[in-house]
Amino acid sequence: MKFPKLFGRSEVKQSQTGAALVMTPGQPVWSGRDYAAFADEGYAKNVTAYAAINKIADAASSVKFNIFRGKHELEAHPILDLLARPNPMQSGSDYMAAKVGYYMLAGNGYEERVTVGGTVRELYQLRPDRMKVIPGASGFPIAFEYKVGGRCVTFEVDPANMDSDIRHMKSFNPLNDWYGQSAIEAGAYAVDQNNEAMKWMQALLQNSARPSGALTTKDDKDLSDDQFHRLKAQIDDQYTGSRNAGRPMLLEGGLKWEQMGMSPIDMQIIETKYSSARDVALALGVPPQLIGIPGDNTYANYAEARLAFWEDTVIPLVELIAADWNAWLAKPQGVELRPDYDQIPAIAEKRKVMWDMADKATDLTINERRAMRGYEPIKGGDIVLVQSSLIPLDLASEPIAPPLQIDPAAMKAMMYGPKAT
């Protein structure tokens, strides 16, 4: 954007450090995040991360959107139809779940819009590991490359307004200028610990639930090769595996079993599993109580944990998505998308309590109470209504005066004149 010349020189509106971010403009910048490992170890093989991500995705996909033009809500609009059926293969809920899932796993979300005759007709979610950002010399992306099956599709970015058929939503990443940081990456150690604990317990169960050990002989007596191989085959066939659990071992020739590994109790493997699972849930923003992880007493009950989950995780994520869609889809058409939280049980219960408190308050106007419920102000509503029987506190604390004593003769004189006496 050009500005008028000031003091004989032309000023250009652009970042002074943007060009410094680009080493080779026009070349794809590859993400340093191992999306395949996050998706495999952190989702496909970890029950905690799987449950947490699905819980966030299901909650976000349950939120409905309303559309407004200024202060007026519209009953129907093509954008609402688009979000209800983004493409022939997905419903609105499926599309939102995929969007949240990609974002949580990769820290990046990519959407493609298909425009026909100047109108957006379809939306598609693209896998983050297939998308590459191509930076320009000014420090802004000039294109996006999508590679799959040996084919490469390039989506250009309009340098005038940074508009593109690809929308990139990314989380904050302090170490990368072009890609967001995955929530799974922050909990990677916890995911590995949890997976290893599960593998250790599985191997232990397959080994008759006994710690590792060794068979020793008295007086360092050596076994012959035939005895060694026979003994090894006997152990593999008769004493290992779940089907042989509990079978007593018959020792001969002075053999003695000596335990060398630690028992599950000694290793506290169960607590390690739960501790790492709580860390995974913490990284993803889901209270452990909601996915059945014991040992966490952060919230007094399930209702409090569910409310915190919505307020701290789901609503900020939905607001981020709404702001992204508004900038990309709605604002160019002069409308605005707003999430509707009134039908969410966890939020509705809290709002009911707030509304009851507002109804009982004596220092709020009618319009202030209506605003808390989301209603428009009404004429004459900027007044505070109080009960007619209410009196000031200092007046109520004064002593009650004794009844007034009036002489009957004086009363007659006041009513009928002096002759009445």
How far is Cα 86 from Cα 107, in angstroms, rounded to an integer? 22
Q: Do 227 and 107 lie in a common domain?
A: no
Q: Do 116 and 155 lie in a common domain?
A: yes
Is residue 239 one of the residues assigned to a domain? yes
Cα 378 from chain centroid (whole Å) = 38
How far is Cα 350 from Cα 316, in angstroms, rounded to an integer? 17
Could you tell me the CA-to-CA distances from 355 to 259, 323, 363, 370 in Å, in that order?
65, 28, 14, 9
Q: Which of 184, 219, 250 is the last residue of a domain?
A: 184
Instruction: Write down the pLDDT at residue 155.
Output: 94
Is residue 315 one of the residues assigned to a domain? no
Residue 52 and residue 184 in contact, taking contact as beta carbons nearer than 8 Å: no
More confident residue, 196 or 98: 98
pLDDT tens digits for range 259-285: 555 555 555 677 888 888 899 999 999
Instruction: Write down the pLDDT at residue 7.
Output: 41
Q: Do 33 and 180 lie in a common domain?
A: yes
Is residue 283 one of the residues assigned to a domain? no
Is residue 90 one of the residues assigned to a domain? yes
pLDDT tens digits for range 16-50: 555 555 555 555 554 446 888 888 888 998 999 99
pLDDT tens digits for range 101-144: 999 999 999 999 999 988 899 999 999 999 999 998 888 899 99
How far is Cα 288 from Cα 50, in angstroms, rounded to an integer? 13
Q: Do 174 and 194 lie in a common domain?
A: no
Is residue 326 one of the residues assigned to a domain? no
Categorize the per-residue pLDDT at 366 as very low, low, confident or very high, splitting at 50, 70 and 90. confident
Categorize the per-residue pLDDT at 398 as very low, low, confident or very high, splitting at 50, 70 and 90. low
8: pLDDT strictly greater than 50: no
DSSP three-state, residue 88: coil
3: pLDDT strictly greater than 60: no
Q: Which of 232, 267, 302 is the last residue of a domain?
A: 267
Q: Do 239 and 258 lie in a common domain?
A: yes
pLDDT tens digits for range 136-185: 888 889 999 999 988 999 999 998 888 999 999 999 999 888 899 999 98
Q: Could you tell me the residue range of the domain that residue 240 belongs to?
A: 190-267
Q: Do 33 and 149 lie in a common domain?
A: yes
Is residue 409 one of the residues assigned to a domain? no
Residue located via tokens 């004493």: 239
Residue 18 and residue 177 in contact, taking contact as beta carbons nearer than 8 Å: no
Q: Which of 215, 244, 267 is the last residue of a domain?
A: 267
Residue 128 and residue 106 in contact, taking contact as beta carbons nearer than 8 Å: yes
Q: Do 144 and 195 lie in a common domain?
A: no
Q: Do 35 and 176 lie in a common domain?
A: yes
Is residue 356 one of the residues assigned to a domain? no
Q: Do 87 and 213 lie in a common domain?
A: no
> Which residues, at least 6 apart from 36, have a Cβ–Cβ distance to it below 8 Å?
129
Exposure class string for 111-141: b at 16+ Cβ within 10 A, else e: bbbeeeeeebebbebbebbebbbbbbebbbb
Q: Do 32 and 92 lie in a common domain?
A: yes
How far is Cα 36 from Cα 202, in angstroms, rounded to an integer? 24
Q: What is the percent of the chain with per-residue pLDDT over 90, rounded to a whole number? A: 36
Categorize the per-residue pLDDT at 1 as very low, low, confident or very high, splitting at 50, 70 and 90. very low
Is residue 85 one of the residues assigned to a domain? yes
Q: Do 44 and 123 lie in a common domain?
A: yes
Provide the number of structural domains found in the chain. 2
Q: Do 89 and 210 lie in a common domain?
A: no
